[in-house]
Amino acid sequence: MKRILLALYTLATILIIVGALFILQGDSYGSALLIGGLVLNIFYRLLTFDFPQLKVFKVKSIFKLASIFLMMVACILFFTNSDQKFNLLIVSILSDTFLNFKEISFKKK
């Protein structure tokens, strides 16, 4: 299960990066790739979320859950005519990266 989750997270990250690059070039596929990456990231975050810590009222777990909801709102808002949809996508990706920075490893094994 751990390998599947790792592959899911890697695929989500790649889709987010490639989608952002396509959006910068003005390609219409970039939005679909970015939303696909965010949806996979939401699934990954929900599958790895530690719900018992939420009952203990850990502040970091509450922020992580809020970040998941922010990503969901950003995905839903993307299908509307809102002017702030790209800003909310950027904020949701940055908040997710900031809150889950320990998962990003630059160490060589």
The pLDDT assigned to 40 comes to: 92
Q: Which residues contact 30 (CB under 8 A, 6 or more apart)?
A: 18, 19, 20, 21, 22, 23, 24
Q: How many CA atoms lie within 13 A of 84 on its CB side?
A: 5
For helices 29-48 and 59-78, the axis angle rounded to 10 degrees is 150
Indicate the pTM of the whole model.
0.79
Per the prediction, the chain carries an average pLDDT of 84
Tell me the per-residue pLDDT of 54-82, one tens digit each, with 9 for 90 and over: 788 778 888 888 999 999 998 888 888 88
CA distance 40 to 77: 17
